[in-house]
Amino acid sequence: MKPASMSDYRERARRRLPPMFFEYIDGGSYAEETLRRNVRDLEAIALRQRVMRDMSKVDLSTTLFGQTLSMPLALAPVGMAGMYAARGEVQAARAAAGAGVPFCLSTVGVCSIEEVAAAGTPPWFQLYMLKDRGYMRDLITRAKDAGCPVLVFTVDLPIPGARYRDVRSGFTGLSGLPAAINTLWQGATHPAWSWDLFTQGRPHTLGSVQAAVQGGGRVNDFLAWIARNFDRSVTWKDLDFVREIWDGPIVIKGVLDPDDARDAVRAGAQGLVVSNHGGRQLDGVSSSIAALPRIADAVGGDLEILMDGGIRSGLDVLKALSLGARACLVGRPWAWALGAGGEAMVSRMLGVMRSELTTAMILTGCTTAARANADMLDVAAPQNL
Ligand code: FNR
């Protein structure tokens, strides 16, 4: 059976990946309420069907930070993607380039900035603020030297939210012999994944944070490493430090509150991502789609507003555009597709998103994605926002 919708990619990834990686991708924090809200609140929005409007031409393209995107979508930063398929970040970056959309490389990627950039189009680079400012300076300089056009500064992870699925799967919390046995067992019982990674990959330390990292963090040390090295003292002033080194566009990722959005504008950011980290941080906060209109009201026009969390179809993309986003990011959909079958599956997944968005635009009478607005929504229908 060929994968059609995002849930098919998820199911394939579930079968192919060792549970510790599948659960890491799939899960959220604590009771996963926000993770569910992200999806449910998007589902609850009603589109407004329009007919007989000559929709022979629709334009999905948009522009962001001087770049032209073939559709208003980008691949969100996802940590450790090189563990879902061999050289995973490179494979996903190639698929994104082929589809004409940006790929954003995580600070905690497996493939280095240079490797991903050398494989094709330089990626957007996502930054976590680590305590070691010398290391930060090097990292930002490397992103600049590699030609990364946009820096995405993630601000909603001063401390990792507890993800209970990772404890249960042994992804976190184990060390020494039990960790080794768990990893070996999960690898042995998922031979297609093991064959792919161990015949085509390189040693699986966190190469990018390159690793992490001073100390060459192995997978099981990952969360402990985050807890030790991420900087909780960060404030808007630290953006000045980043600005000293980086002169391109800066996008603040992880904003849910209009006051924070105004601060991002005051701090000189060129964009922000309305995001709750895919429901992986503070459980119980509102969905990203519910936060979006308030933020668009507060700062729309002052900077570019992106949104992520729960986007599972091109129809969802149109809903977010209609409520004020310039473009959306997807996290799990591409991570599932990568785990399901590498670059080819990520390309296919992007093709599905494109065709769903095209259909949604045609049936709502939206000819130009860059001009989608609240007219595309059926405001008379019950909305859950
Ligand atoms: C993430 N996310 C994330 N964000 C970030 O800024 N840096 C990172 O390294 C990661 N790592 C990461 C790993 C995994 C497995 C997931 C699922 C997510 C968050 C990500 O960029 C994005 O905000 C969410 O994934 C969006 O929600 P959806 O599309 O997954 O529902």
277 is catalytic: yes
75: CA distance to ligand 1 center in Å?
9
285-318 tens-digit pLDDT: 999 999 999 999 999 999 999 999 999 999 999 9
Beta strands at 67-69 and 250-255: parallel, antiparallel or unpaired: unpaired
Residue-level pLDDT at 221: 62
Label residue 174 by pLDDT band (50, 70, 90): confident
Q: Is 165 annotated as a binding residue?
A: no
Handedness of CA 265, 247, 273, 69 (dihedral sign): positive
- What pLDDT is recorded for position 384? 52
Q: 290 CA to middle of ligand 1, Å?
A: 18
d(CA 236, CA 270): 14
Its ipTM equals: 1.00
* 277 is an annotated ligand-binding site residue: yes
Residue 324, marked binder: no
Which pLDDT value is given to residue 199? 85
Please list, in sequence order, all residues whose beta carbon lies within 8 angstroms of the beta carbon of residue 235, skipping any fewer than 6 positions away: none
Q: What's the token pair of residue 37?
A: 């809200």
CA–CA gap between residue 234 and residue 300 (Å, rounded): 25
What's at 35, amino acid-wise? L
Atom of ligand 1 nearest to the CA of 80: 13
Is 60 exceeded by the pLDDT of residue 206?
Answer: no
* Ligand 1 center to 76 CA (angstroms): 6
Query: Is the pLDDT at 216 greater than 70, yes or no?
Result: no
Band of residue 201 on the pLDDT scale cut at 50, 70, 90:
low
Domains, the chain, ranges and CATH? 6-370 (3.20.20.70)
pLDDT at residue number 215: 41
Kindly give the pairing relationship between strand 250-255 and strand 124-127. unpaired
d(CA 160, CA 18): 22
Nearest protein Cα to ligand 1, atom 5 = 77
The percentage of residues in the chain with a pLDDT greater than 90, rounded to a whole number, is 86
By CB atoms closer than 10 A (0-12, 13-18, 19+), residue 237 is exposed
Residues having CB within 6 Å of any atom of ligand 1: 24-25, 38, 76-79, 106, 108, 126, 154, 253, 275, 277-278, 280, 308-311, 330-332, 335
Q: What is the mean pLDDT of residues 17-44?
A: 98
User: Smallest Cα–Cα separation from 208: which of 48, 375, 79?
Assistant: 79
Question: Helix 19-26 and helix 176-188: axis angle, to 10°?
Answer: 90
Flag whether 331 is marked binding: yes
Does 217 score more than 90 pLDDT? no
Select which of 10, 37, 94, 277 is catalytic. Answer: 277
Which of helix, strand or coil describes residue 281?
A: coil
At residue 202, the pLDDT reads: 62
Decide: 313 and 5 in contact? Cβ < 8 Å: yes
Residue 104 has pLDDT above 60, yes or no: yes
- Average pLDDT, stretch 184-194? 95
| Res 211: pLDDT | 46
Of residues 180, 49, 24, the one with CA closest to residue 106? 24
Query: Mean per-residue pLDDT for 2-25?
Result: 97
- Residues 69-73, mean pLDDT to the nearest whole number: 99
Statement: residue 105 has pLDDT above 50 = yes
End-to-end CA distance of the chain: 36
Distance 331 CA to ligand 1 centre (A): 5
pLDDT bracket for residue 220 (50, 70, 90): low
Q: For a ligand 1 pocket test, name from 280, 307, 312 the mutation site with the most ligand atoms within 8 angstroms of its C-beta.
A: 280
Residue to mutate (ligand 1; options 7, 10, 41, 78; most atoms within 8 A of CB):
78
77 has binding-site annotation: yes
Atom of ligand 1 nearest to the CA of 275: 23
Q: Which atom belonging to ligand 1 lies closest to the Cα atom of 309? A: 27
Tell me the CA–centroid distance for residue 192 and ligand 1, in Å: 25
Share of residues in the chain with pLDDT > 70 (%): 93
DSSP calls for 204-218 = -S-TTTTTTTTT---
> Mean pLDDT over all residues of the chain?
93
* Residue 50 CA, ligand 1 centroid: distance in Å: 34
Nearest CA to ligand 1 atom 25: 331
2 has binding-site annotation = no
Q: Tell me which DSSP letter residue 286 carries.
A: P
Query: Is 332 known to sit in a ligand binding site?
Result: yes
Which residue's CA is the nearest one to ligand 1's atom 2?
Answer: 78
Q: Does the pTM of the predicted model rise above 0.90?
A: yes
Query: What's the Cα-to-Cα distance from 125 to each of 66, 87, 140, 174, rounded to whole Å?
Result: 16, 17, 9, 30
Tell me how long the chain is: 385
Q: Is the confidence at residue 328, as pLDDT, over 50?
A: yes
Distance of CA 173 to the CA centre of its chain: 25
Q: Describe the strand order of the beta sheet including 124-127 as a list of residue ranges.
A: 73-75, 327-330, 304-308, 271-274, 250-255, 151-154, 124-127, 104-105
- Condensed to tens digits (0 to 9), the pLDDT of residues 75-92 reads 999 999 999 999 999 999
Tell me, what's the pLDDT at 175? Answer: 84
CA-nearest residue for atom 24, ligand 1, is 278
pLDDT score, position 155: 98
pLDDT for 228 = 83
* Residue 385 confidence (pLDDT): 58
How much distance in Å is there from the Cα of 336 to the middle of ligand 1?
Answer: 12
Phi, psi values for residue 289, rounded to 5°: -65, -30
